[in-house]
Amino acid sequence: MSAQLPLLLRWPHRQRFEFFHPGGNAAALAAVRRAAETEGAPWVYLHGPAGSGRSHLLLAACQAASVQGRRAQYLPLGSLSERAEALRGSAGAELLALDELEHVAGDRAAEHALFDLYNATRAAGGCLLFAAAAAPAGLGIELPDLRSRLGACVRFLLQPLDEPARREVVRRYAAERGLHLDAAVLDWLFVHESRELDALFGLLDRLDRASLAARRRVTVPFLRDWLRRSTGA
């Protein structure tokens, strides 16, 4: 991400602490916020299933650290082909968020690069945040010293929001934009569309513009027809 971009454009708008709905993850949210905003805070390791908010919290931490004037970097390891090189090139950030850590497991060069990065960041007084699908012991890390260091972090198992909570979050998000979603519309959305909140929020933003342009309220027939036309299906 270019240092020339304005701060508000550098980090995704919705993936900030104020848009994270903690459910049973309030302690994890507080620990990640503390790491982002306070020098010397404990390092945090997040794990949990897809949709539990791991990436959201890491990106939110980077945004919050940037507001504090700290150099922040987010590294999505799952989308990188040269992980060892990327890890070795990441030294120097005051806050470094490493996502999808499971993709380092079994890669000897990447494991050693992460071990060196861990030690260098600790010596420099920086902060590392980790997120993965499993806890350190279940990740498949082959380097014992790295496994031990990851296990020393403050760990949180993230729990996805249950469906009633997820539906309420979506309903409130729509209401803030003047969209009234009745139970039938919510039922249809949760059956036919992604249940990931970020995907649903993006869909609602587009739906809001479409309903205003058509001067129609959102009903299941309107939603179904709009999606058919917008996707070409």
Q: Which of 157, 184, 201 is the last residue of a domain?
A: 157
Number of domains observed in the structure of the chain: 2
Residues 115 and 174 in one domain: no
Residue 2 lies in a domain: no
Q: Which of 127, 157, 187 is the last residue of a domain?
A: 157
Residues 57 and 143 in one domain: yes
User: Could you read off the pLDDT of 64-94 as tens digits, one per residue?
Assistant: 999 999 999 999 999 888 999 999 998 788 9
Residue 173 lies in a domain: yes
Mean pLDDT of the region 112-136: 96
Phi, psi of 129 (to 5 degrees): -120, 140
Question: Tell me, what's the pLDDT at 10?
Answer: 65
User: Could you read off the pLDDT of 40-63 as tens digits, one per residue?
Assistant: 999 999 999 988 999 999 999 999
Residues 182 and 69 in one domain: no
CB 153 within 8 A of CB 43: yes
Residues 23 and 52 in one domain: yes
Residues 16 and 97 in one domain: yes
Range of the domain at 26: 7-157
The residue whose two tokens read 């390092």 is 43
The whole-chain average pLDDT of the chain stands at: 90
Q: Which of 157, 172, 188 is the last residue of a domain?
A: 157
Instruction: Please state whether the predicted TM-score (pTM) of the whole model is above 0.85.
Output: no
Residue 147 lies in a domain: yes
Reported confidence tier of residue 5, pLDDT bands at 50, 70, 90: very low
Residues 130 and 167 in one domain: no
Which range, 7-11, 109-113, 167-171, has the best average confidence (pLDDT)? 109-113
Residue 76 β-bridge partners? 99
CATH (domain of 15): 3.40.50.300
Residues 120 and 29 in one domain: yes
Residues 129 and 33 in one domain: yes
Question: Tell me, what's the pLDDT at 202?
Answer: 87
Question: Tell me, what's the pLDDT at 201?
Answer: 86
Parallel, antiparallel or unpaired: strands 95-99 and 127-132:
parallel
Based on the number of CB atoms within 10 Å of its own CB, is 71 exposed (0-12), middle (13-18) or buried (19 or more)? middle
CB 12 within 8 A of CB 5: no
Residues 193 and 153 in one domain: no
Residues 171 and 141 in one domain: no
Residue 107 lies in a domain: yes
Residues 153 and 172 in one domain: no
Question: Tell me, what's the pLDDT at 82?
Answer: 92
Residues 138 and 89 in one domain: yes
Mean pLDDT of the region 204-229: 92
Residue 1 lies in a domain: no
